[in-house]
C-alpha cells in the first residue's frame, strides 16, 4: 500500500486533465520525458515575469536575484547527487551534451590509439555515437559488454574484457528501453582496478534511484532535468574535481574565460570553465523546484510506488495472448517493453493514441539492443508517480482493441 496520496499528486500536473481524441489522457511515455508539476511551471513563469536578467556579470537587483536562484539550483543538485564539491556540478543542455563534453575533452586529451573504451549492449545512441566518433578521431577501440536474454549485463564477460588497455568505461545506469538496473558500483570498482575512468549515464536512473556519486566513486555522472519532472534543454554533468580541472574547455566564449587578449586567453575556474555563453537560466532555476518536489515526496516512496505499478502491469500484460515482454531483468525500474505477435509496434502506438493512451514505439534510440533481440522495436509503457493501476487497466483494454482491429 502506497503512503503517497496519488490523487493529490495528480492534481499537481495540469496536463493530466487534457483530453486526447475525446478521452482522458493516459500518459505512459515517462521514459521519454516526464510531465511537469505546477511548482516547476510556476518557477518558470516567475523567473520570466519577475526577475528575468542575465546572470553573474550584472550588479543590478534583477541580475543578482537571477544569479542567486541559478546558483541555488547548483547547490540543490550537489546535494541530490551527494557530490563533494559544488564546483563539480556542471550545467549542460542534457545527458547527450554531457557525454559529448566528456568524450571531446577528457577523451581527446587523454585517450590515444589502441586504448580501449567499453560500453554495453544496453546503451542509448547518445552513449554509443560520441565514443564511436572519438575512436575515429583518436584510433581508440570500442568494446561492448553483452547481455543475456533477460536484458541483464553479462558482468563476467565484462571482467574478462578489462585489461591494461582499458582506459574508459561508459555505461547506462538504467536501460531506457528495458528498465534494467545495472550494478554500476561493481562496474566502477572493476574499471578502477585496471586504472580506467568511468562515466555513468543516469538519464533514466535519476528519477527512480538514490544516487550517491561519492559512494559509487564514479568519475563522471550525467542526467537530464526533463526526466525528473523538470524542464527540457537542461542537464547536469558531475565530474571529479581533479579530472574536470585537467580537461580543456568544451566551448569558447563568454563566462568561461578569465582574461582575453588577441594573443592569449586564460580560462575561468570550475564550474564556469565549461559553461560558455548565456546559459539556459530559467530552466536551471526551475530544476531546483523539480528536485524539491521529488525530495518532498521521497524518492524511495516514489520508487516503491512505481515498482508496484510495474509488478501490476507485468502481471496484467502477461495474460494477453500473443504479447511478449522484452526485458525481464532481475532488477528493473518502471519500464515495460513488449511486442505483439503479427502487429507492428507503430500500429500499436497509433491505435492506443486513438484511445488517449500515450506510449512510445520504435527502437527507443537503442537499435543495437533491438538487433540483439532480433526485433525492429517495441511498444514501451513507462510509469511515473502520477500513474495509476486504473490507467494500466485502460492500457490492457486498449491492447485488446489493437488486436481486434489489426488481426
CA distance 340 to 254: 52
Nearest to 103 by CA among 211, 250, 212: 250
Write out the three cell numbers for 76: 540543490
Known active-site residue 140? no
- Cβ distance 53 to 287 under 8 Å? no
Q: What angle do CA 373, 378, 379 make, to 5 degrees?
A: 155
Asked whether the beta carbons of 73 and 89 are under 8 A apart, the reply is no
- Active-site entry in 365, 376, 388, 396: 365
Is the bond preceding residue 271 a cis peptide, omega within 30 degrees? yes
Separation of alpha carbons 405 and 339, rounded Å: 16
CB 216 within 8 A of CB 188: yes
CA 227, 231, 232, 238 torsion-angle sign:
negative
Please answer whether residues 204 and 173 qualify as being in contact, where contact means their C-beta atoms are separated by less than 8 angstroms: yes
H runs (alpha helix) in 59-197: 61-81, 95-102, 108-110, 129-138, 155-161, 184-193
Q: How many CA atoms lie within 13 A of 143 on its CB side?
A: 19
Residue pair 301/350 in contact (Cβ under 8 Å)? The answer is no
Residues taking part in catalysis: 365
Amino acid at each position: 500500500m502506497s503512503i503517497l496520496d496519488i490523487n493529490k499528486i495528480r492534481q499537481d500536473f495540469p496536463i493530466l486533465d487534457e483530453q486526447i481524441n475525446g478521452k482522458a489522457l493516459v500518459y505512459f511515455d515517462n521514459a521519454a520525458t516526464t510531465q511537469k508539476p505546477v511548482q516547476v511551471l510556476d518557477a518558470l513563469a516567475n523567473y520570466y515575469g519577475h526577475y528575468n536578467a542575465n546572470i553573474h556579470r550584472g550588479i543590478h537587483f534583477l541580475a543578482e536575484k537571477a544569479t542567486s536562484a541559478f546558483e541555488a539550483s547548483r547547490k540543490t543538485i550537489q546535494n541530490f547527487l551527494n557530490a563533494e564539491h559544488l564546483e563539480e556540478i556542471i550545467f549542460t543542455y542534457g545527458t547527450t551534451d554531457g557525454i559529448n563534453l566528456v568524450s571531446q575533452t577528457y577523451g581527446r586529451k587523454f585517450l590515444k590509439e589502441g586504448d580501449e573504451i567499453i560500453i554495453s549492449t544496453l546503451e542509448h545512441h547518445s552513449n554509443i555515437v560520441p565514443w564511436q566518433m572519438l575512436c575515429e578521431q583518436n584510433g581508440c577501440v570500442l568494446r561492448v559488454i553483452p547481455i543475456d536474454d533477460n536484458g541483464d549485463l553479462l558482468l563476467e564477460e565484462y571482467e574478462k574484457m578489462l585489461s591494461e588497455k582499458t582506459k574508459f568505461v561508459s555505461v547506462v545506469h538504467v536501460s531506457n528501453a528495458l528498465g534494467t538496473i545495472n550494478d554500476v558500483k561493481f562496474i566502477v570498482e572493476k574499471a578502477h582496478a585496471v586504472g580506467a575512468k568511468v562515466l555513468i549515464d543516469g538519464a533514466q536512473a535519476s528519477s527512480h534511484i538514490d544516487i550517491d556519486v561519492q559512494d559509487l566513486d564514479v568519475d563522471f555522472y550525467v542526467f537530464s532535468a526533463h526526466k525528473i519532472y523538470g524542464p527540457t534543454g537542461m542537464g547536469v554533468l558531475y565530474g571529479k574535481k581533479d579530472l574536470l580541472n585537467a580537461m580543456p574547455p568544451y566551448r569558447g566564449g563568454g563566462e568561461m574565460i578569465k582574461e582575453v587578449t588577441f594573443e592569449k586567453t586564460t580560462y575561468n575556474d570550475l564550474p564556469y570553465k565549461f559553461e560558455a555563453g548565456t546559459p539556459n537560466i530559467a530552466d536551471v532555476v526551475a530544476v531546483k523546484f523539480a528536485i524539491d518536489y521529488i525530495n518532498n515526496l521521497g524518492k524511495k516512496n516514489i520508487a516503491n510506488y512505481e515498482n508496484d505499478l510495474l509488478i501490476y502491469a507485468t502481471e496484467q500484460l502477461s495474460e494477453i495472448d500473443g504479447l511478449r515482454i522484452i526485458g525481464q531483468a532481475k532488477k528493473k525500474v518502471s519500464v515495460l517493453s513488449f511486442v505483439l505477435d503479427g502487429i507492428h509496434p507503430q500500429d500499436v502506438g497509433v491505435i492506443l493514441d486513438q484511445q488517449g493512451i500515450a506510449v512510445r514505439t520504435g527502437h527507443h534510440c537503442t537499435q543495437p539492443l533491438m538487433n540483439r533481440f532480433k526485433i525492429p522495436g517495441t511498444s514501451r509503457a513507462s510509469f511515473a508517480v502520477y500513474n495509476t493501476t486504473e490507467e494500466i487497466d485502460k492500457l490492457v483494454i486498449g491492447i485488446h482493441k489493437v488486436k481486434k482491429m489489426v488481426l
